[in-house]
Structure 1
Amino acid sequence: MDLVEIERKREIGTAEESVRRHLSEAGWHASGPVVETDDYYSRPDVDFMETVECLRIRRNGASAEVTYEPPTTAVTHSAGDVIAKRETNVALGDGQADAAGRLLAALGMVHLVTVAKRRTLYRHPHTPGLTVAIDVVDNVGIFAEVEVLRSEAADGRELLEEIERGLGLTGFPAVDLPYRDLAMARSVRAWPAGLHLLSTGRPSQPSVDLGEVHRMIADIRCTSPRSTEEPLASPPQEA
């Protein structure tokens, strides 16, 4: 059975240690942290930042996978910034991540940005199909993301909100943009990079101004990269 991934992330900033402590006290078990590096792509004829589709290659230690998420619509994205989508994931073997990147390039896909983060996953023994991730995203910020896997999106939303309330996360601002878009905004506008998070574990810049990021993303969508390759000539048609 295909499951729906229901998720919402919130920016927790300097409250990271408090959130981690609350998770531990509530019986959540941590695994990690692990460093994940995501390379995001778009089609040359469709702006995935505008449609809010996702095509990425994720490297996680010795493992890697290709993921596609369909466009964001009013059905998949609720007013409360809860996102519910069915992902398509393809696991890659050892050394195949680079080959996958070459394949996407050969198909004309446009590389958008590379996002690196240090992720710690928390799971509770009594709630299968539910994870809380603490993400320290390089040059972007620190976030808590609750993710629920369920057959029906409505059931997952109710559980997600219950977990957020129980963990005291509802007071933190919800973030409706993907890490890709936040990183693109910083890269294109040359926001101060500061210290490298994967070395220090802490961001050096203030919290993300989501209103400003939305304005930047609108500008980026008008100037997003397109393939500069000449289109392949059509094969001759038989008479």
Structure 2
Amino acid sequence: MTLVEIERKRALDTRSAELLLARLGELGFTATRPAREVDTYYSRPDVDFMETVECLRVRQGPVRCEITYKPASDQSTHSADGTIAKQETNVALADPDQGGPAHQFLGALGMVLLAEVDKSRVSYRHPDDAELAVVVDTVAGLGTFVETEVLSSRSHTQALAQLTETERLLGLQDCPVVCQPYRDLVMENSVRGSTGNHSAARGGP
């Protein structure tokens, strides 16, 4: 049985984040403890994963470390409504201290470091639906986001219907959809910061 994760990410301001947390409690979702996760993204030297929208990532958290690969994007994986549906390949490592060897391993294979995303994550689950997750991320330098995720073997249409209904129940319809991954947002933010610093050094606007 092949499981496919379909997800949609939205940006939250302070007020919408407060309303979301209240609504999650009202609907019976339970939260995990906030956990810091550091995601380090890589690309192949001969293929630009920024262009293909592939993901090769080492995730280090307080209790686990894993390597994840997500395949290239096309019209079947990214839809006009901002949802993403991809099959993930995850390799769980023995313990969270295996992050260093994981980076060494990818470096030895010639993989190219792209970006590091440092975030605090809280996951919310509902006792009646193991396939559904609502994840609130506070990403260093970017802000706060919510990802509604459905991991299912059902059809894309069925999973999307569940995701959309969950967003409606949580009052997220008016929050801006974010189609780019955190990796890309962090890299763009870094470029803007670098450009601003150069302008300031030249005395420019």
In structure 2, the residue matched to 1:180 is 183
Q: CA deviation at 1:32?
A: 1.6
- Distance in structure 2 (CA, Å) of the matches to 1:137 and 1:60: 14
Match of 2:152 among 147, 150, 172: 150
- Distance in structure 2 (CA, Å) of the matches to 1:119 and 1:191: 27
Cα deviation, 1:90-149, whole Å, max 9, x if unaligned, reads 001123221111111111100011101101111111122100001001101100100001
Letter in 2 for 1:111: L
Secondary structure in 1 matching 2:50: helix
Letter in 1 for 2:156: A
Alpha-carbon RMSD: 1.3
In structure 2, the residue matched to 1:165 is 168
Cα deviation, 1:69-88, whole Å, max 9, x if unaligned, reads 00111000111010000000
The 5-angstrom pairing of residues 8-23 of structure 1 reads 8-14=8-14, 15-23=16-24
Give the structure with the larger strand fraction: 2
Secondary structure in 2 matching 1:185: helix
- Distance in structure 2 (CA, Å) of the matches to 1:4 and 1:154: 12
| TM-score normalised to structure 2 length | 0.91
| TM-score normalised to structure 1 length | 0.78
Letter in 1 for 2:30: H
Q: CA deviation at 1:191?
A: 6.8
Letter in 2 for 1:178: P
The 5-angstrom pairing of residues 52-91 of structure 1 reads 52-91=53-92
Q: CA deviation at 1:153?
A: 2.0
Secondary structure in 2 matching 1:8: strand
Q: Determine if the alignment matches structure 1 residue 96 to structure 2 residue 98.
A: yes
- Distance in structure 1 (CA, Å) of the matches to 2:72 and 2:13: 28
Secondary structure in 2 matching 1:129: strand
In structure 2, the residue matched to 1:229 is none
Secondary structure in 2 matching 1:32: coil
**Identical counterparts, % of pairs:** 52
Q: CA deviation at 1:187?
A: 1.2
In structure 2, the residue matched to 1:138 is 140
In structure 2, the residue matched to 1:201 is none
In structure 1, the residue matched to 2:201 is none
In structure 2, the residue matched to 1:111 is 113
- Distance in structure 1 (CA, Å) of the matches to 2:165 and 2:179: 19
- Distance in structure 2 (CA, Å) of the matches to 1:191 and 1:25: 43
Q: CA deviation at 1:62?
A: 3.1
- Distance in structure 2 (CA, Å) of the matches to 1:133 and 1:85: 17
* Runs of at least 5 residues in structure 2 that lack an aligned partner in the other structure: 196-205
**Higher RCO, 1 or 2 (CA under 8 Å, sep at least 6)?**
2
- Distance in structure 2 (CA, Å) of the matches to 1:104 and 1:188: 25
